Amino acid sequence: GAVRVAVRTLCLAALLVALGAGGTELTLELPDSAQRCFHQELESGIKFTLDYQVVISGGHYDVDCYVEDPNGKTIYQETKKQYDSFSHHTEVKGVYTFCFSNEFSTFSHKIVYFDFQVGDEPPILPDMNNRVTALTQMESACVTIHEMLNAVIDSQTHYRLREAQDRSRAEELNGRVSYWSVGETLILFVVSIGQVMLLKSFFTEKRPSSGGAGT
């Protein structure tokens, strides 16, 4: 009936908000001894959140990260972090810069995932923040579904990154095992040839040298 249609409409709205929340997600390759910076113009009094993680390759899976405000002031700085999260309310209007650095590494590149969210998530129901009455059971159910969907999205992102990291480690281990197997095969081949030649030398008949004293 009409109630079921309304429930489906509100739940669909919750799903669309959960899947379409504002922000930027990006995976980038960071070569050794390199740095990558991103710039975002923000108004004052705006909240932004930066989540990042080194997901594939990269030695100890660590990276340097720092954030600067429009005046060049460093508001966040961490060195050799595998993952971290940073939230900040802007105090001045302008271009904010956040950078990832791999300059301390001279031979290993990194794959870095980051999620940059700007502003607070809008309410899924009209005037939800200004209501003086309690939410109805249907509205509460939709809010709960919305929160669960957000948790599912975060969990899927986390497990996707972990799966990529574990796959990279498995491929690296498989490569090492393959090289080690090839090396063992070559060593066994050389040892086998040496043993055959050594045994052959034991059974080789040595003829006495011919010659006699002249009379």
Please say if the pLDDT value at position 4 is more than 60: no
Is the distance from CB of 61 to CB of 165 less than 8 angstroms? yes
Q: What is the pTM of this model?
A: 0.58
| 63-68 sheet: strands from edge to edge | 35-42, 94-101, 63-68, 74-81
Q: What is the pLDDT of residue 207?
A: 61
pLDDT digits 0-9 by tens, 72-127:
999 999 998 888 889 999 999 999 999 999 888 777 788 888 888 887 766 666 66
**Looking at 9-18, 124-133, 169-178, which range is the least confident one?**
9-18
Token pair for 44: 């004052």
d(CA 165, CA 159): 10
* 195 CB burial (10 A radius; 0-12, 13-18, 19+): exposed
Q: What is the pLDDT of residue 215?
A: 45
Give the CA distances from residue 166 to residues 12, 83, 84, 131, 163, in Å, rounded to whole numbers and listed in that order.
34, 15, 19, 47, 5
